[in-house]
Amino acid sequence: MKKTLKKIMPLAYGQYYNVYTLLAPKKAADSAFRLFCTVRKGRVQPQQADYLDGAKLEVEEVAGHQVQSYHWPGSKETVLLVHGWESNTFRWRNLIKKLREADFNIIAFDAPSHGYSTGKHLYVPLYEEAVNHMVIKYNPKHLIGHSVGGMTIIYNQYKNPNPVVEKMVTIGSPSEFHEIMSHFQNILKFNDRVMKHLDAYILERFGFRIDEFSTSKFAQSLSKKGLLFHDKQDSITPYHASVAVNKNWQDSTLVSTEGLGHSMHQDDVNDQIITFLEA
């Protein structure tokens, strides 16, 4: 029964929006966007709490959200860690161990609606506000982002370039917003009329069209040194996303792997990150 419901519910939403856009297109688009941005998991689990609680720093006020930050002190440069969708700071535990051994000063935070932070929704422009807040407040020399976190740090340095930031690392990150939205459409099976109204809604609210949000395009303006990791068999975000970003990011290197998956917690990946930061 549960499996059947999981299959039926997205299709029901799709049909609902197909009809709703005929009656109230702006309200339908707002509702569809909220559904798209709804965070369903990623809160701190009991087995994660002991690790995170000991490193709590402050509760930051960002765009109406209370965002939990963390600190692992070190004498070297500050590194800011930015996790992915439906995750939290605990996902960095393996890399944090390596960074602490190398004596880096580590700042991390739970995205709005994730971990200990407040909210129900997350979208990249909101995440970028949180990243920018942390960059301005803590002056990190290095930014590291996983998945949507990687997309967000590129958008942040495109929108609000900061001279203090010198190096950036992305891990399994998407590039083209239209690919993400097409996947959303494919799951719900809503028609192109709904997508058209979603595009208009996003333009009015954020100032860009779906096709215009592209980290591969944003990367053309980056002057930082970049290191990109992506597995060729990544089932969550397509490998070609990092290929495109690397092509347009003049001072970047792409590390292609096979069989490491999307999360990339492996020691070899983390060791390469440390080497890159220390170079």
Bridge partners of 78, per DSSP, are 105
Mean pLDDT of 2-18: 77
Predicted local confidence at residue 185, as pLDDT: 97
Can you give the pLDDT at residue 5? Answer: 47
Name beta bridge partners: 66.
61
Q: pLDDT > 70: what percent of the chain? A: 97
Residue 139 and residue 37: Cα distance in Å, rounded? 29
Give the tens place of pLDDT for each residue, 85-103: 999 999 999 999 999 999 9
pLDDT at 39: 98
Look at residue 2 and tell me whether its pLDDT is greater than 60: no
Task: Check pLDDT > 50 for residue 1.
Answer: no
Lowest mean pLDDT among 7-11, 163-167, 220-224: 7-11
Alpha helices in the chain (DSSP H): 2-23, 25-37, 46-53, 93-101, 124-138, 148-159, 177-188, 192-206, 215-218, 239-248, 267-278
Q: What is the pTM of this model?
A: 0.96
Are 171 and 264 in contact, with CB atoms under 8 Å apart?
Answer: yes
Q: Which residues contact 104 (CB under 8 A, 6 or more apart)?
A: 74, 76, 77, 78, 79, 142, 277
Q: Is the pLDDT of residue 243 over 70?
A: yes
Residue 112 pLDDT: 98
- Assess contact for 134 and 108: CB atoms under 8 A: no
Q: What is the mean pLDDT of residues 14-29?
A: 95
Q: In what order do the strands lie in the sheet with 225-231?
A: 56-62, 65-72, 105-109, 78-82, 142-146, 167-171, 225-231, 252-257
* Mean pLDDT score, 231-236: 97
pLDDT tops 70 at residue 6 = no
* Average pLDDT of span 39-68: 97
Domains in the chain, please, with CATH? Answer: 1-38+177-211 (no CATH), 57-173+214-279 (3.40.50.1820)
pLDDT digits (tens, 9 = 90+) for 100-154: 999 999 999 999 999 999 999 999 999 999 999 999 999 999 999 999 999 999 9
Average pLDDT of the segment spanning 24-52? 97
Instruction: Indicate the average pLDDT of the chain.
Output: 96
Beta-carbon contacts of 129 under 8 Å, excluding residues fewer than 6 positions away, are 62, 63
With pLDDT > 90 as the criterion, what percentage of the chain qualifies?
Answer: 96
Q: Is the pLDDT of residue 59 over 50?
A: yes
Query: What CA–CA distance (Å, rounded) separates 144 from 273?
Result: 9
pLDDT for 174 beyond 50? yes
Reported confidence tier of residue 10, pLDDT bands at 50, 70, 90: confident
pLDDT tens-digit series, residues 204-218: 999 999 999 999 999
Integer Cα distance of 249 and 137 in angstroms: 26
Given a cut of 50, whether residue 190 has pLDDT beyond it is yes
